[in-house]
């Protein structure tokens, strides 16, 4: 049995990860800045701490007595959030920096850092039909402003803590992750959840239109949460020394994503394109050559399959919470 800390455990990916690690028989301490009433999931038998990890002393409290750390804590969200909260995103550098210092001083054995495909050079993402991004495409550096630069800097911090202090660090560059128990409204949601919500609300209200950010031709890949959790655990326990892609190689346009959700909902909407809305890069996909070489595996759950599960969960939430103030809504727990 290992003693494992999961930071950002009140969020979507962190909550799923804490639950999985507990199910594997390990002792888990879950940490998040949000009040417990706002955590997306709470797993029985897990120790839960509410701490602001931007504060150095709190990082020492969070890690004291434990062996491994999965750092998923960050101030982040979908494109609508990160394009308008660049300073807030940059301040997450304090979390990883202070956690690394605490890990070094407290004898942590392994440290996982959740990075992002937003570290990649924007000039390599101007074509919707561009090939998948290789790990080397992060340099020369031209990251997503704000959020991407913080992620790239924190990757380098992990590398240098390994070189200078011998701390074993692992870094995965997440491409878009989706699934149940994730944010679907409020401005921080990613495209799959946002489209599911818009179609569900349109169907309930018998609306005719759906607003799409951008022209709908921009492309992305979307990784289902179960693939993400498996990848995190496999990378943490591997001998992979450098940052590595963790994402699906199934690239779709936003228009195709809407097609899939409309098919699941059995409801069609006319599309109205908002060309002034935040829309990010034109094309982004994951080149999985390296992860297949290292692990003999890559994320493979088809988008249509994962979307159906996600749509059904969001549909349940919206129907149960109709008429409630958003601030009073707490997601269903496992």
User: Is 120 an active-site residue?
Assistant: no
Measured distance CA(304)–CA(310) in Å, rounded: 10
182, 185, 179, 191: which is closest to 219 by C-alpha? 191
The count of other CB atoms within 10 Å of the CB of residue 209 is 11
Question: Which residues 6+ apart lie within 8 Å of 55 measured at CB?
Answer: 98
Out of 147, 178, 184, 311, the active site residue is 147
Measured distance CA(95)–CA(242) in Å, rounded: 21
The count of other CB atoms within 10 Å of the CB of residue 311 is 22
Q: Are the C-beta atoms of residues 206 and 150 closer than 8 Å to each other? A: no
Q: Are the C-beta atoms of residues 112 and 170 closer than 8 Å to each other? A: yes
Measured distance CA(56)–CA(305) in Å, rounded: 42
Measured distance CA(168)–CA(48) in Å, rounded: 25
Helix, coil or strand: residue 114: strand
Q: Which residues have a catalytic role annotated?
A: 147
């Amino acid at each position: 049995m290992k003693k494992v800390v999961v930071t950002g455990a009140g969020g979507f990916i962190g909550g799923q990860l804490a639950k999985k690690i507990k199910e594997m028989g390990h002792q888990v301490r879950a940490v998040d800045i949000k009040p417990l009433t706002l955590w997306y999931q709470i797993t029985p038998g897990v120790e839960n701490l509410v701490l602001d990890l931007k504060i150095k002393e709190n990082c020492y409290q969070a890690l004291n007595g434990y062996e491994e750390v999965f750092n998923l804590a960050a101030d982040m969200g979908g494109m609508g959030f990160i394009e308008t909260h660049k300073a807030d995103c940059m301040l997450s550098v304090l979390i990883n920096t202070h956690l690394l210092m605490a890990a070094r001083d407290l004898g942590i054995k392994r440290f996982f850092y959740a990075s992002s495909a937003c570290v990649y050079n924007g000039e390599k993402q101007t074509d919707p039909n561009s090939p998948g991004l290789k790990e080397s495409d992060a340099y020369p550096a031209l990251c997503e402003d704000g959020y991407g630069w913080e992620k790239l800097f924190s990757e380098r911090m992990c590398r240098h803590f390994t070189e200078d202090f011998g701390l074993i660090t692992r870094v995965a560059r997440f491409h878009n992750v989706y699934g149940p128990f994730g944010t679907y409204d409020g401005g921080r949601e990613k495209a799959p959840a946002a489209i599911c919500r818009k179609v569900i609300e349109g169907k309930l209200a018998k609306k005719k239109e759906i607003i799409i950010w951008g022209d709908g031709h921009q492309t992305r890949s979307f990784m289902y949460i179960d693939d993400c959790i498996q990848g995190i655990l496999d990378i943490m326990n591997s001998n992979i020394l450098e940052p590595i892609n963790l994402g699906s190689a199934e690239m779709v346009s936003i228009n195709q994503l809407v097609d899939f959700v409309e098919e699941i909902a059995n409801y069609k909407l006319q599309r109205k394109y908002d060309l002034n809305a935040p829309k990010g890069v034109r094309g982004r996909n994951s080149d999985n050559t390296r992860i297949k070489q290292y692990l003999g595996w890559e994320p493979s759950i088809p988008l249509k399959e994962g979307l159906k599960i996600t749509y059904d969960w969001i549909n349940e939430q919206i129907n149960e919470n109709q008429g409630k103030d958003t601030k009073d809504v707490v997601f269903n727990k496992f």
